[in-house]
Amino acid sequence: MDWLLNGIALLVALAIIAIGTGYIANPTTMTRSFGLPLPADDPNTVPWLHLKGVRDIAAGLLVLAFMLWSTERELGLVLLVAAIIPVGDMLVILAAKGSAKSAFGIHGLTAAIMALAAIPMMTGAH
């Protein structure tokens, strides 16, 4: 089971780094899959989307760092705390009457997977 939990952590880390890279390289395209309408198409929007990319990359690197240099319990704690990000994304999308499919299917599912991997890591129940 350790390989499965660590595999999930690795997948989460690499996926969020890839998403963050996409927000830096092509932010308008990336926003289409988020679940909210595209923000205003003006020169001031792109830097804000780049900020999301930087934060996503940092979140993924944080998980990778904990995978390499911490205990499994600490990695589980980081995954559980980081699961707040997709939960928050899901709630914001639902409150804004955005795409429920994206809210639950992307963000909610991501949060659930992260929590389901984190809890056994933290408790040693695997």
Structure pTM? 0.92
Domain count, the chain: 1
Give the residue-averaged pLDDT of 47-54. Answer: 96
> Residue 120: pLDDT band by 50, 70, 90 thresholds?
very high
Neighbours of 38 (CB within 10 A): 13
> Residue 126: pLDDT band by 50, 70, 90 thresholds?
confident
Q: What is the pLDDT of residues 69-86, one digit of tens each?
A: 999 999 999 999 999 999
- Look up the domain containing 83 and give its range: 2-123
